[in-house]
Amino acid sequence: MRSLVLLCVVLALSDGITRLPLERGKKLREILREKGLLHRFLQHHRYDISTKFPHAFPDVLTVVSEPLLNTLDMEYYGTISIGTPPQDFTVVFDTGSSNLWVPSISCTSPACQSHQMFNPSQSSTYKGTGQNLSIHYGTGDMEGTVGCDTVTVASLVDTNQLFGLSTSEPGQFFVYVKFDGILGLGYPSLAADGITPVFDNMMNESLLEQNLFSVYLSRETMGSTVIFGGIDESYFTGSINWIPVSYQGYWQISMDSIIVNKQEIACSSGCQAIIDTGTSLVAGPALDIGDIQSAVGANQNSYGEYSVNCSHIVAMPDVVFVIGGIQYPVPALAYTEQIQNDQGTCMSSFQNSSADLWILGDVFIRVYYSIFDRANNRVGLAKAI
Q: Residue 13 maps to which CATH number?
A: 2.40.70.10
On whether the CB atoms of residues 95 and 250 are closer than 8 A, the answer is yes
For residues 122 and 260, state if they share a domain.
no
For residues 215 and 269, state if they share a domain.
no
- Judged by phi (left if over 0) then psi (alpha if -120 to 50, else beta), residue 297 lies in left
Secondary structure percentages of the chain, helix, strand, coil, to 5: 20, 40, 40
For residues 128 and 187, state if they share a domain.
yes
Q: Is the pLDDT of residue 59 over 70?
A: no
Choosing from 228, 248, 269, the residue where a domain stops is 228
Q: What is the pTM of this model?
A: 0.84
Q: How many angstroms separate the CA atoms of 58 and 186, rounded?
A: 28
What pLDDT does 282 receive?
97
pLDDT-derived band of residue 40, with 50, 70 and 90 as boundaries? very low
On whether the CB atoms of residues 296 and 334 are closer than 8 A, the answer is no
Q: Give the least confident one: 17-21, 145-149, 329-333.
A: 17-21
For residues 98 and 175, state if they share a domain.
yes
pLDDT, one tens digit per residue, over 273-309 is 999 999 999 999 999 999 999 999 999 887 788 999 9
Cβ neighbors of 369 (< 8 A, separation 6 or more) are: 214, 215, 216, 235, 236, 381, 382, 383, 384
State the average pLDDT over residues 127-132: 94
pLDDT-derived band of residue 381, with 50, 70 and 90 as boundaries? very high
For residues 21 and 154, state if they share a domain.
yes
Choosing from 208, 228, 248, the residue where a domain stops is 228
If you ran DSSP here, which 8-state letter would residue 218 be given? Answer: -
On whether the CB atoms of residues 199 and 100 are closer than 8 A, the answer is no
| Domain count within the chain | 2
For residues 51 and 182, state if they share a domain.
yes
For residue 85, is the peptide bond before it cis, meaning its omega torsion is within 30 degrees of 0? yes
Active site residues: 94, 276
Q: Is the pLDDT of residue 61 over 90?
A: no
For residues 72 and 206, state if they share a domain.
yes
Give the domain range for residue 139. Answer: 2-228
DSSP track, 73-128: TTEEEEEEEETTTTEEEEEEEETT---EEEEBTT--SHHHHTS--B-GGG-TT-EE
pLDDT, one tens digit per residue, over 170-191 is 878 888 889 999 999 999 999 9
Q: How many angstroms separate the CA atoms of 151 and 161, rounded?
A: 7
For residues 218 and 246, state if they share a domain.
no
Cα–Cα distance list, 40 to 13, 35, 158, 190 (Å):
12, 11, 11, 30
Choosing from 228, 250, 268, the residue where a domain stops is 228
For residues 69 and 160, state if they share a domain.
yes
Q: Is the pLDDT of residue 41 over 50?
A: no
For residues 220 and 275, state if they share a domain.
no
